[in-house]
Amino acid sequence: QVQLQESGPGLVKPSETLALTCSVSGGSIRSYYWGWIRQPPGKGLEWIGNIDSIGKSDYKSSLKSRVTISLDTSKNQFSLKLNSVTAADTAVYYCAKISDGGYRHYYMDVWGKGTKVTVSS
């Protein structure tokens, strides 16, 4: 049973880099695809990006210039980096495992509990 746990600073200063890690247990990071999603306070879900088992990533268009998702196979983790943050990046950040329901019908079937990140000086 795959389980996910997000970790990282809960407070980031404006213009700095938000860096989060998702630790994977109960399965190999090489066996699945993985994603990051965020949810600003009181708002809906925003997909940030995905990474496949060999490190190929896709990102939300409006975040593409600031975001990097990468794998660390030695630690069975994957990470999110978001540069030049502003208050608008304040949110709960979730990591998720992606499964294929067949014919590339991907869905996010395992989620971390989420970690709250506030951007403030």
Partner 1 sequence: DIQMTQSPSSLSASVGDGVTITCRASQNIANYLNWYQQKPGKAPKVLICGASSLQNGVPTRFSGSGSGTDFTLTISSLQPEDFATYFCQQTFTPSWTFGQGTKVEIK
* CB-based contact 2:112 (threshold 8 Å): no
Q: Which amino acid is at 116?
A: K
Instruction: Using CB under 8 A, count the residues that bind partner 1.
Output: 24
Least distance between partner 1 and beta carbon 44 (Å): 4
Instruction: Choose the stretch contacting partner 1; rule: CB under 8 A; options: 7-15, 58-66, 67-75, 82-90.
Output: 58-66
Among 1, 44, 65, 121, interactor with partner 1 by CB under 8 A: 44
Can residue 105 be called a binding residue for partner 1 (CB under 8 A)?
yes
Distance (Å) of CA 36 to CA 103, 105, 121:
22, 18, 25
Can residue 112 be called a binding residue for partner 1 (CB under 8 A)?
yes
DSSP 47-107: EEEEE-TTS-EEE-GGGTTTEEEEEETTTTEEEEEE-S--GGG-EEEEEEEEEE-STT-EE
Can residue 60 be called a binding residue for partner 1 (CB under 8 A)?
yes
Which CB atom, from 13 or from 116, has the smaller least distance to partner 1?
116
Least distance between partner 1 and beta carbon 18 (Å): 19
Partners of 59 in the beta sheet?
Answer: 49
Can residue 78 be called a binding residue for partner 1 (CB under 8 A)?
no
Alpha carbon 70 to its chain centroid, in Å, reads: 10
Q: Which residues bind partner 1 (CB under 8 A)?
A: 37, 44-47, 50, 58-62, 94, 101-103, 105-109, 111-114
